[in-house]
């Protein structure tokens, strides 16, 4: 496909243990694609492969026509892909604003950085209120906002979100979901959303993939997978 992301039959292992087997998926420009599955199924490994953190042994990953299969993470970020990792991983002894500035570490245009930060604060007003506060003192929901905001500071064209709802109260899950939809619509950013909260993921996405034991088991639109008996039984509690 032209533009967007194409993963073609990648295999990833951790030592002797196979983590991904022949995984293929596509993300079109300005599309939200969800990747759902149980814990340990290979969702996070897929994101790590895209970012160059765990390169595949076989297969290819292309972004906007460029082969990124063997690129190091800074080169991947420079091309326009960023990751908001599972567990947030903010720097607790640094302020909110310092954490955000780290997200723009490859940017040199100070005016652009300032404009981007204002956009982030527009999406997350609570971060603006707490801009001088140490990140470690934020609530779980606020730390998740900070992790997403930090990823946005690099001005990505593809945003990878790893379990953004993990550990959050239902009202915060709803809030994060709405912000993800706004970022996609208003910024035109493609998003890969990795979630164990399949209900949330399938509501937000245009298309979705189910990954089981390191392989793609099902794919389709969010509506199609939400109606799948297997998905309802295994992931939606139905």
pLDDT band at residue 2 using 50, 70 and 90 as cut-offs: very low
User: What is the CA 234 to chain-centroid distance, rounded?
Assistant: 23
Q: Could you read off the pLDDT of 176-228 as tens digits, one per residue?
A: 999 999 999 999 999 999 998 999 999 999 999 999 999 999 999 999 999 99
pTM of the predicted structure, to 2 decimals = 0.93
DSSP 8-class letter at 161: E
Task: Check pLDDT > 90 for residue 34.
Answer: yes
Strands 207-212 and 215-221: antiparallel
Residue with tokens 């149980």: 38
Q: Could you read off the pLDDT of 39-71 as tens digits, one per residue?
A: 899 999 999 999 999 999 999 999 999 999 999
Show me where the domains of the chain are located.
1-79+192-238
Q: Which of 95, 102, 147, 149 is nearest to 121 (CA)?
A: 149
C-alpha torsion angle, residues 185, 43, 25, 174 (rounded to 10): -20
Q: Could you read off the pLDDT of 156-167 as tens digits, one per residue?
A: 999 999 999 888
pLDDT band at residue 3 using 50, 70 and 90 as cut-offs: low
Strands 5-14 and 81-84: unpaired
Q: Could you read off the pLDDT of 108-124 as tens digits, one per residue?
A: 899 999 999 999 999 99
Close Cβ partners of 36 (under 8 Å, ≥ 6 residues apart): 43, 194, 195, 196, 198, 201, 202, 208, 209, 210, 211, 225, 231, 235
Question: What's the CA gap between 43 and 50, in Å, rounded?
Answer: 11
Close Cβ partners of 29 (under 8 Å, ≥ 6 residues apart): 3, 4, 157, 188, 190
Q: Which CATH class for the 1-79+192-238 domain?
A: alpha beta
By residue count, the chain amounts to 238
Question: What's the CA gap between 97 and 100, in Å, rounded?
Answer: 5
Task: Outline where DSSP puts E strands in the chain.
Answer: 5-14, 17-27, 32-36, 58-63, 66-67, 81-84, 158-162, 190-195, 207-212, 215-221
Dump the DSSP string for 199-216: HHHHHH-SEEEEEETTEE
Close Cβ partners of 105 (under 8 Å, ≥ 6 residues apart): none
Close Cβ partners of 192 (under 8 Å, ≥ 6 residues apart): 5, 27, 33, 34, 35, 47, 50, 158, 159, 160, 161
Task: Check pLDDT > 60 for residue 11.
Answer: yes
């Amino acid at each position: 496909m032209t533009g967007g992301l194409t993963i073609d039959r990648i295999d990833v292992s951790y030592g002797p243990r196979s983590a991904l087997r022949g995984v293929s998926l596509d993300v079109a420009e300005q599309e939200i694609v969800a990747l759902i599955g149980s814990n340990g199924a290979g969702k996070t490994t897929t994101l790590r492969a895209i970012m160059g953190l765990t390169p595949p042994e076989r297969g290819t990953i292309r972004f906007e026509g460029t082969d990124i299969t063997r690129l190091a993470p800074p080169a991947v970020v420079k091309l326009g892909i960023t990751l908001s990792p599972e567990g947030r991983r903010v720097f607790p002894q640094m302020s909110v604003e310092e954490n955000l500035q780290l997200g723009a570490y490859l940017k040199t245009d100070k005016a652009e950085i300032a404009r981007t930060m204002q956009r982030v604060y527009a999406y997350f007003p609570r971060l603006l209120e707490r801009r001088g506060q140490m990140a470690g003192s934020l609530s779980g929901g606020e730390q998740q906002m900070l992790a997403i905001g930090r990823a946005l500071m690099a001005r990505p064209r593809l945003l990878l979100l790893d379990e953004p709802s993990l550990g959050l109260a239902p009202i915060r899950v709803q809030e994060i979901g709405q912000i993800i939809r706004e970022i996609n619509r208003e910024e035109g950013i493609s998003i890969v959303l990795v979630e164990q909260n399949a209900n949330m993921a399938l509501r937000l996405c245009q298309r979705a993939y189910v990954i089981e034991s390191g392989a793609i088991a099902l794919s389709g639109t969010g509506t199609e997978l939400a109606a799948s008996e297997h998905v309802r039984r295994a992931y939606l509690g139905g």
